[in-house]
Structure 1
Amino acid sequence: MSNPTYEFTRAITRRPSASIVDGLRAEDIGTPDLDKMLAAHADYVAALKSTGAKVIELNAIEAHPDAVFVEDTTLCLPQGAIMMRPGAPSRMGEVAEMLPTIRDCYDDVREIKGPGHVEGGDILVTGREILVGRSDRTDAKGVADLAEIAAEWGHQLREVFTPPGVLHFKTDCSLMDAETILSTKRLDASGCFEGYRVLHVAEGEEAAANAIRFNNLVLMASGFPRTAEMLDKEGYQVVEISNSECAKLDGGMSCLSLRF
């Protein structure tokens, strides 16, 4: 039986735009270099395609600097898709831009109507439940609205809490397989992964926690050798991709695609 949590036939990505230099960031660690970001993005798309998946590559949108981070706009589930309601006001328009593509892919498309907010970067779908982290971008009302839709489709949703100073829940964790989660020690310490097998990223390599399992591959940011070695020893096929420019905008591997 295929596993909808990491076995995918399709993905959606969006090309970075020149306006990426104006993207949101929690702290300024430098301006992203568009050429470097485009090169890394091409590597990312190539890795997804190498598994046999079809990748829908959307054009850049200059009006939305953060639109490359498509994951925040939509939650893709086997039964249908749910359009999110981003907590950052400048990102609200990205959802409408994504909607036509999602309608082409899904018969059943729902939306978070508001006033609550929820972003895809706070949602981890595991083999048994949907974990949603409350954060600066995802609030209680948004979580409640999402839980209601997910329940109609037979999904159990559990609210958890993102550590202070961490932008999104998945900044600090990712799914390696249906029962295994890669996490920072600080997030795991909250007890949110009780009952799962948890692998910790190496000390000082916290940013490696945002990875994705996509079919036979684990895509992770390059520059975290101890975590990469640990995953390799655990039997995962790791592909390292430069994340130097996305990291300047608090972005990581999961943010760059919608997978279904």
Structure 2
Amino acid sequence: MTKSYSFTHAITRRPPLSVTRGLRAEDTGNPDHALLQSHHADYIAALRATGAEVIELPELEDYPDSLFVEDTALCLREGAVIMRPGAPSRLGEAAEMAPHLAQLYRELRRIEAADSFIEAGDILTTESEILVGRSARTNAAGVAELTRLVADWGYKVREVHTPPGVLHFKTDCSLMDGETILATDRLAASGCFTGYRVIAVAEGEEAGANAIRFNDKVIVPSGFPRTRDRLLAAGFDLVEIGNSECAKIDGGMSCLSLRFSPG
């Protein structure tokens, strides 16, 4: 079983009504809560269709961005690492996630240093390494602390850089299989994917770079036809999910779930 995209479990969280107060780099209007719920239900159905157990957590009205559960933890086979989000308003989300992961994992570790911050939206786990992108939400101290925490589990961490103006490293890339990464040209140009096969996102469709490989399916946001066709031509089995409302608060396919196989 491939550890980077074969999973038995996923955790999601229902979108709160307060999602209209979610963080965003640019104001393109508030998300429509009903449509967001519909897209979220489609997303959960796509995960379940692969045979995984999906745990749906209740909404957290005190945390408008809490549907983006991926940022709260890095889930590996050996254990989970609770993150320390770089957005102060999101610090409580990680604490809310910890007890749920403690029920599934024998070992839970935490990013704890006061000068460390790191969000899992900046972390791409492949078969051979963990890539962590420095960004406005992830700093050098956070990367260093994560490196220490996963060393005895046998993981190699490599620090890379997120392009200026891009929220998270995985905003611009996604793992497609053990050797293949979907990426924007602006990110691939940095050379961070040397040794991997890169499928380039079509020009003008950069927002389509955030997708997830989940077991035998690749779940992609709808609305990016040329990128979709490139993935189909490469032999991937796609499921398209609406993402118009999550996109208004800088969210994508990977943000909406924690995906893992607890050891």
Task: Please give the range of the TM-score, normalised by the shorter of the 2 chains.
Answer: over 0.9
- State the match for 2:151 in structure 1: 151
Cα distance between partner residues in 1 of 2:104 and 2:74? 13
SS in 1 for 2:3: coil
CA deviations over 1:208-230 (Å, ceiling 9, x no partner) = 10000000100010000011111
Cα distance between partner residues in 2 of 1:51 and 1:231? 19
- State the match for 2:122 in structure 1: 122
Deviation at 1:150, TM superposition (A): 1.3
- State the match for 2:10 in structure 1: 11
Aligned letter for 1:54? E
SS in 1 for 2:248: helix
- State the match for 1:59 in structure 2: 58
Deviation at 1:109, TM superposition (A): 0.2
1:201-240 pair list within 5 angstroms: 201-240=201-240
Deviation at 1:250, TM superposition (A): 0.6
- State the match for 2:76 in structure 1: 77
Aligned letter for 2:10? A
SS in 2 for 1:63: coil
Deviation at 1:20, TM superposition (A): 0.2
- State the match for 1:112 in structure 2: 111
Normalising by the residue count of structure 2, what TM-score does the alignment of the two structures yield?
0.98
- State the match for 2:98 in structure 1: 99
Report the number of matched residues. Answer: 259
- State the match for 2:169 in structure 1: 169
Cα distance between partner residues in 2 of 1:114 and 1:55? 31
Deviation at 1:92, TM superposition (A): 0.1
CA deviations over 1:92-111 (Å, ceiling 9, x no partner) = 00011111100001010000
Deviation at 1:114, TM superposition (A): 2.0
- State the match for 1:21 in structure 2: 20
Deviation at 1:152, TM superposition (A): 1.6
Runs of 4+ in 1 over 4 A off after TM superposition: none
CA deviations over 1:157-189 (Å, ceiling 9, x no partner) = 000000000000000000000110000000000
SS in 1 for 2:194: coil
SS in 2 for 1:137: coil
Gap regions ≥5 residues in structure 2: none
- State the match for 2:250 in structure 1: 250
- State the match for 1:45 in structure 2: 44
Cα distance between partner residues in 1 of 2:36 and 2:113? 33
SS in 2 for 1:166: coil
Q: Percent identity?
A: 63
Normalising by the residue count of structure 1, what TM-score does the alignment of the two structures yield?
0.99
Gap regions ≥5 residues in structure 1: none
Deviation at 1:141, TM superposition (A): 0.2
